[in-house]
Amino acid sequence: MTSGAARPSLVTADHRAPRWPAALAAAWVGTFCLVAGGALVWSRLRGSSAQDQEVVVLAIGLRLVTVAVALASIQSWGRRLPGWVVLGGLWGAGAVQLAYPLAEAVVKLATLAGLMEPLDKGISDMSAQGWFNFGATWLVWGVPGVLFVLAAVVFGRQVPHARRWALLAVLAGIGFLAALGLLIG
């Protein structure tokens, strides 16, 4: 396929390409957005101030962008976007969402192996609450991250030079996450 040629549609042209990773990623993240948005509205209705809620609004907005990227990879309207943009979005979303759960898994394993002492807070917290938060982190970020990576692999089969775009998107996603952490924290 040349770079100027139209990208085949996952919807009509390639019936062998599984749609479920992208569809499930969009549904999973969309559900998170509904729950978080509902909690935000409920909080405001109960009289809570808008202070510190900007981060939640930002998270919902960014995650809605990832829903659009996932849907673009499997819907006919997504063919209007360059393949590298959709592929980069899928890989970037996967990298951003997997970075923290994977880092926490490494820290927990290092702590269990005795290579480091737990701090009793954050990702090295080995209490019941720390393990609950670890599970929640995988539920909210890790599972959709894996689904985005699977969707990127499927979609990448249709995009020329997919490895280059994948690497650039992963690096950009992790860089974006680091910049966002510095901005928020």
pLDDT, one tens digit per residue, over 8-49 is: 444 434 557 799 999 999 999 999 999 999 988 888 888 777
Do residues 147 and 25 touch, judged by C-beta distance below 8 A? yes
Q: Is residue 148 part of a domain?
A: yes
For residue 40, tell me if it sits in a domain.
yes
Radius of gyration over every alpha carbon of the chain, rounded to an integer in angstroms: 18
Percent of the residues in the chain that have a pLDDT greater than 70, as a whole number: 89
Euclidean distance between CA atoms 34 and 49, whole angstroms:
20
Q: Which is nearest to 44 in space by CA: 31, 33, 57, 32?
A: 57
Q: How far apart are CA 146 and CA 152, in angstroms?
A: 10
Q: What is the mean pLDDT of the chain?
A: 84
Q: Is residue 86 part of a domain?
A: yes
**Tally of domains within the chain:** 1
Say if 11 falls within a structural domain.
Answer: no
141, pLDDT greater than 60: yes
Q: How many CA atoms lie within 13 A of 139 on its CB side?
A: 8
What distance in Å separates the CA atoms of residue 171 and residue 148, rounded to the nearest whole number? 15
Query: What is the mean pLDDT of the segment spanning 167-183?
Result: 81
Judged on CB neighbours under 10 Å (0-12, 13-18, 19+), 152 is buried
At 34 the pLDDT is 96
pLDDT (0 to 100) of residue 12 = 38
Please indicate, yes or no, if residue 104 is contained in any of the structural domains. yes
Query: What whole-number distance in Å separates Cα of residue 148 and Cα of residue 126?
Result: 29
What's this model's pTM, rounded to 2 decimal places? 0.81
Query: Is 2 inside any structural domain?
Result: no
Is 76's pLDDT higher than 50? yes
Strand boundaries in 5-163, DSSP class E = none
- 1 within a domain of the structure (yes/no): no
Count of other CB atoms within 10 angstroms of residue 13: 12
Buried b / exposed e over 40-72, threshold 16 CB at 10 Å, is: beeeeeeeeeeeeeeeeeebbeebbebbebbbb
Q: Domain of 63?
A: 20-184
Closest by alpha carbon to 44, among 32, 61, 56? 56
